[in-house]
Amino acid sequence: MSELLDLLRPDLRGFAGYSSARRSGTQPAQVWLNANENPWPNPADPAAHCRRYPEPQPQALQNALADLYGVSTGQLLIGRGSDEAIDLLVRALCQPGIDAVVSTPPVFGMYAVCARLQNAPLIEVPLRDGAAGFVTDIDAIADAALQGKARLVFLCAPANPTGQGVSLDAIAALARTLRGQAMVVVDEAYGEFSAQASATTLLAAHRNIAVLRTLSKAHALAAARIGSLIADPELIAVLRNCQAPYPLPTPCVELALAALAPAVLAITRQRVANVIAERERLLAALPDCPGVCRVYPSQGNYLLLRFVDADAAFSRLLDAGIMVRDMRAQPQLRDALRISIGSPAENDRVLAALGVSIRTQGVRA
């Protein structure tokens, strides 16, 4: 067994998983009677797209996502958003009560949720708030992971809600330090909004790095729930055996394939550029808002703000019909709100609600 598979829970090494009808019935046939499906489509499904169980990992979508992310299909596991991949990693690698998970609060809450559901000890290494913004403390993470015998380290980069990235050199150094002990999982849900290259470029040299990607953010398919885990093929093969038999509904797969067509991708890339331009426009304008203490730079499609009175600011925005994310329950963020970057018109409404003179620079389409 390889060093990488040694990181798996011992009871899952060699686990074959459930052999569904679609997995086991791979030979060509004219009449399919192996899955107890209804012989007639539902009257509300005239195209008969949903009568049959879907492919567990549709080949066409695998090919499209592999091309998008610059990886091989063997490195790719498609699931129900990034959330499913996080859960699979924790369940497959962490023995309950023994193998720990490292998280870096304030950060996306699903890492801690999945650890708790698995009864995996949670080790928290807080972000450091400095003059240039929040910083992910790689040295402290390495020390905590080694001392706590962690099996998984989650790095959110760009970080949600704080906005900072983590350099590829730092990620690679952490992976070297934790080789043979832990997987370093880089959550790139907001990667399209960052100028930094993806951590997938590190996979060839570091088998204990995994990367999370999603179509929910930049590709505007949040309701379709299409996420990807990109990692060493050996780990991907094991996690496929741990995944639910039919994780990807056919209508969602068809929508994702349409969204990954070249003409649609060109529009998506332009819209990402628009979001980045709007982000920088708001970053420049929001410090003029009465009551704003600080606006953090961001590599995502959101900005984190501190207020003299965050409750009053939240209320002003809500009164203007604008819902933002209240971050005050998060560690270190008791005076903070997170504002997603909207359309130019929506962003103008935010500025007006917070008492900022609307500037005309930036994207106006």
Split at pLDDT 50, 70, 90, the class of 18 is confident
What CATH number was assigned to the domain covering residues 272-353?
Answer: 3.90.1150.10
Place of tokens 């997995």: 23
Residue 365 has pLDDT above 60, yes or no: no
Residue 258 has pLDDT above 90, yes or no: yes
Residue 362 has pLDDT above 70, yes or no: no
CA 163 to chain centre: 14
Predicted local confidence at residue 16, as pLDDT? 83
Q: Give phi and psi for 157, each to the nearest 5.
A: -150, 110
Q: What is the pLDDT of residues 194-238, one digit of tens each?
A: 999 999 999 999 999 999 999 999 999 999 999 999 999 999 999
Mean pLDDT for 67-83 is 97
Residue 361 has pLDDT above 70, yes or no: no
**Is-above-0.75 flag for pTM?**
yes
Using DSSP bridges, classify how beta strands 209-214 and 183-187 pair: parallel, antiparallel or unpaired: parallel
Q: What is the pLDDT of residues 272-293, one digit of tens each?
A: 999 999 999 999 999 999 999 9
Matching fold, domains 5-11+55-260 and 272-353: no
Q: Give phi and psi for 301, each to the nearest 5.
A: -100, 50
Q: Report the range of poorest mean pLDDT among 45-49, 170-174, 326-330, 341-345.
A: 45-49
Residue 242 has pLDDT above 80, yes or no: yes
Which of 174-178's residues contact partners 24+ apart within 8 Å by CB, and which partners? 174/138, 174/141, 174/142, 175/202, 175/206, 175/208, 175/209, 176/206, 177/142, 177/146, 178/142, 178/145, 178/146, 178/150, 178/153, 178/208
Predicted local confidence at residue 14, as pLDDT? 84
Residue 179 has pLDDT above 90, yes or no: yes
Say what percent of the chain tops pLDDT 90.
86
Among 196, 195, 192, CA closest to 168: 196
315 vs 34, higher pLDDT: 315
Residue 86 has pLDDT above 70, yes or no: yes
Average pLDDT score over the chain: 94
**282 residue type, one letter:** L
323 vs 45, higher pLDDT: 323
Question: In the chain, where are the structural domains located?
Answer: 5-11+55-260, 272-353
Mean pLDDT for 320-324 is 98
Place of tokens 């094991």: 238
Residue 47 has pLDDT above 90, yes or no: no
Predicted local confidence at residue 217, as pLDDT? 98
> Helix, strand, coil shares of the chain as percentages rounded to 5?
40, 15, 45
Where are the strands (E) in the chain, listed by range? 76-79, 100-103, 122-124, 128-130, 133-135, 150-156, 183-187, 209-214, 227-230, 292-295, 302-307, 325-326, 336-340
Residue 123 has pLDDT above 70, yes or no: yes
Residue 190 and residue 251: Cα distance in Å, rounded? 24
Residue 1 has pLDDT above 70, yes or no: no
What CATH number was assigned to the domain covering residues 5-11+55-260?
Answer: 3.40.640.10
Q: Report the range of poorest mean pLDDT among 43-47, 58-62, 66-70, 308-312.
A: 43-47
Predicted local confidence at residue 178, as pLDDT? 98
